Structure 1
Amino acid sequence: NDSILALMPKEYACKSMREAYHALPELTGNFIHDFENALSKNEVCYRDFSLNIDDETHWFNSKITPLFNAGGIAIGFSQRITNISDRKKVELAISEKNHELKSAHRELKEIIENTSEIIFKLNLDNQIIFVSPEFERSLGFPGSKIVGKTISSLIHPEHRQRFENELAEARKTGKSTTHNIFRAVNRDGIDRWFNISAKFVRNTQGAPFIGIVFAQDISDLKLTMDSLSASEERYRSVVNALGEGVVMHDNKGLIIACNLAAEKIFDLPPGGALGDALRRSNITAIKEDGSPFPMQEFPAAITLATGQSIHGVVMGIYKRSGELVWVVINTEAVYYTSDHTRPDAVVASIFDITEKKRSEETLSAHTKQLQNYSDKISGILDSITDGFIALDNKLEVTLWNKVMETETGISQYYATGKKIASLNCFMLNDAVADVCREAIRHYTTKNFEHFVPEIGRWLEYSVYPLGEGLFIYLRDISARKQQENLLALEKRVLEQNATQSASLNTTVDYFLEGLEEIFPGMLCSVLILDDDGKSMRHLSAPKLPKD
């Protein structure tokens, strides 16, 4: 074939084997090996080989057939060379595509096995035909146990009908319009909460034939959100839990995989992130303090450059709409080969914490507001000129104002948290404690007066019970009490003086004794002039020595 001979090297065509081997040892050596095999084994030998002709690779097939005489003695061989370049190019293209498909399969498998979301694959009857390994990690059941069952059988009965309704709506529209929260029960009978979304793959006629359901276990997040919202649950409902996004970058930083949660976080259309560059210039990111987040400090960029895993990086990202979304990013390097010098890809998990961050900021603002209220109340209580105490139901001090500090010498720091009985305070004796217990037990206000000999004053106690304890208000009523006692003494003196046996001496004695009783520490005496008008003598002095 002249066309084939024209393509063959001139050092080989029409040359002896010795000449050809001397000029082209590699090519000719392979042929010689085939010649020897053909003669020794009496078989046809085939070999594909390539030649670079005019900077273009051409592929050929060599067929060597042994020749024998009538007696069966080898007398030579024939070689047929066929140009197979077109066929070979097709085979190489198919091989390359197969490699790409295998690579994509490995990447998808990496995502499925490492994502914290459970991924279900459904048939047209909503029966599970595949479930990812996260199912067993989350609920404790082997995935093989639920293959063939309807996915709604995993949902708690209280949520099952709503789930079926939303799954049916997703089948009509092609995907869930939002992420929804459903409850399931794990192997130990403990409730687990999941953020679930669905998407249905359609055939060429537009009809759904495969369903993909993503379930993100948000039990820990829900517990955290419930805890943060406990102090505010009277004012608003518990905030919705959020899903986790997964993004994979290749070794050039291009996004090669992105799940639905990530598309929702970044406000992207389905598949809109694929092929996007890690270092695109139109992304605006900030740190927690509001400063710019440099591209070279992005977790995925660091992992891609160093292979180092990054965890718990908080980043604020502005969506195209201008909305700021806060996320926590974790990254892991992916290696396809044993050479770990540089990652072949990076998997990033992106958790939306926008609502959580807002809740923390609101909680912080409320805490500051409560602290301001507490400071104002403390200021008001400190300005009160009477004693004020707050106790819990165990009669332990929770508030002790400055008047109590001054009157008792016991500081608020020392008194707070202690039972009143352990303070040994003369103003809060056992009788006062009994009244407090009765007020708590019957949930009734108590008012009583008590003379405190340690300070020589009368105090009025007002005890007001509350749901978590009580308040005690102590007011000095010594002046009022003395006035009342003086009026009562005056009345008794007038009644004494009106009796037939009354005399000036007995009446004055009765009056002075009453004054000394009302005013402890006071000594009273009355002096009168003798009949001679020159000397004085005591008419009455109840507590003065007789001599």
Structure 2
Amino acid sequence: MAISNNNNEDAYQLIADSMSDLVCLHDPQGIYLWVSPSARRILGYEPDEMLGKNPYSLFHPDDRERIRSGTHDPALEGAGNIYVRYRMLHRSGFYVWLESLTQPILDDVGTVVNLHTTSRDVTEQVRLERALAQSEALHRSVVNSLAEGVMSFARDGRVLTINEQASKLLELNPDNVLGRQPKDVSWRAVYLDGTEIPQTELPLFVTLSTGQSCRDFRMGLVFDDAKTKWVSVNSEPVTTEGPQADNQAAVVLTMTDISDQLRREAMLEQWSTVFRHSREPILLVDLDGIIQEANPAFGRLLQLDSSSTIGTSWSGFLQPSSGTRVHDGDLLLNAAHQGHWRGELWLRDTEGGIHATWASISALPVEPGTEHKMLVIFSDFQEKHEQEKALRIQATHDALTGLPNRLLLMDRFDMALKSAQRHGETFACFYLDLDDFKPVNDRYGHAVGDEVLKTIARRLKAILRDDDSLARLGGDEFVMLITSLNGRSAAGSVADKVLQVLTEVIPVGGRDIRVNGSLGVGLFPHHAASVDDLLHVADQAMYRAKHSGGSRWLLGGPREGLHNKNERP
């Protein structure tokens, strides 16, 4: 079974909760890194109590060396499928018999980084096996009460006992098999890959011929109606002193239907594969936003090792400007309550880059009393976000110069008006119309005229502050918003700079182009108290300046006069 090499196996907690076996993850020294909840039932310990402990302190003293030499050391050398039966101290003070399968977990270069064990409580099975050697009557009464299928065989392969569970599992009538060797059964035995198992390799016959135990031999029973049951079989030799009687048990066979378990393992393997190889970033978080698992795609997106995010808060990777509340936990709590949430979330990588994503948050099913987990899947939203951003720019900016258009300009004027009203400040509206621009288009063509407009836009923008705005309304008309002015003299200084910029030669295609301009200036609150009125005042002032000969600027209002670039108001 493939599992993550992380020390935290909570990504598979929900599946592990439903399994009766004790599943543990150890570091190479054997220290517990993760323990499944079944530890409570089997050993009486809370899983958290076992974390960080060495299991050797719980092993029976007579079993420790056997476990180390027969299981631990071979697993560290890369050996897998190692079975061992041993005794472990229960919290209440008595020893429990466990049967464990140990598998090494290797990194990409084949080094053992962790050990994985799956243990089953076989205390009752051990007791049964010992009881069988003492009393056949006790054997029959006990085995019929077990949930597992149990059979005992004589040395010649005859069936001595079969309990009800084994009869149902194998679909055998006890009256037809007791005292006989099973023949003409309605099924054939197959390996997990579907190939047929030779009789000599079946656990019963291996134990009969070698006297050796077989542990957790997994096989399928394919019946005549094509139905398949998957079973785990253990065969144990029965050893007694003295000569063995014909009707004395030589082998005890126990079997468990593992069809559901294999389905769960297949689902776990599929989930693990999807989780690891998905191109979409995936997180598993708790309701506090603490990351329990992160797949490699999440790390690639944010330019970090996904394993380093385990135990950290997901809000550290979210960009607050996405507009979604993520820091107070409302998002996760609402998703848990409703079962899901979908929407736009922005992720911030280690280089400061922002990635727009479409996130799907789903509450994973949990058993009563267990901690909620939330599955978060991010889909790339960057391309769509960039398209929307481009559309917003297209809707609010002039296509030729890239300057704000009337729509964005009015929005900025409204903001400036509210700020000025709140702080008692003055701001200005400059309305500019180029003089002698039409002859440029007529003489040199519109392509040259467009270059002239773009050059003027760049030069005017260069003399403005960051808080000021320059917009093109169309044709050769420009509007400037100049904020935080100290009265008319300050406005005049800016107007002089604008006219000075317009006198500079504009080289286009080997030609030196010259244009001038007429400028109208409206001040808030001196000339108007609203944006529309202020634009109208500046527009009218511009027309009076143009009709007075151009190449000059004029303050709005009935008492204001004309000014050329060398005159002050």
TM-score (norm 2): 0.34
**Greater length-normalized contact order (CA 8 Å, ≥ 6 residues apart):** 2
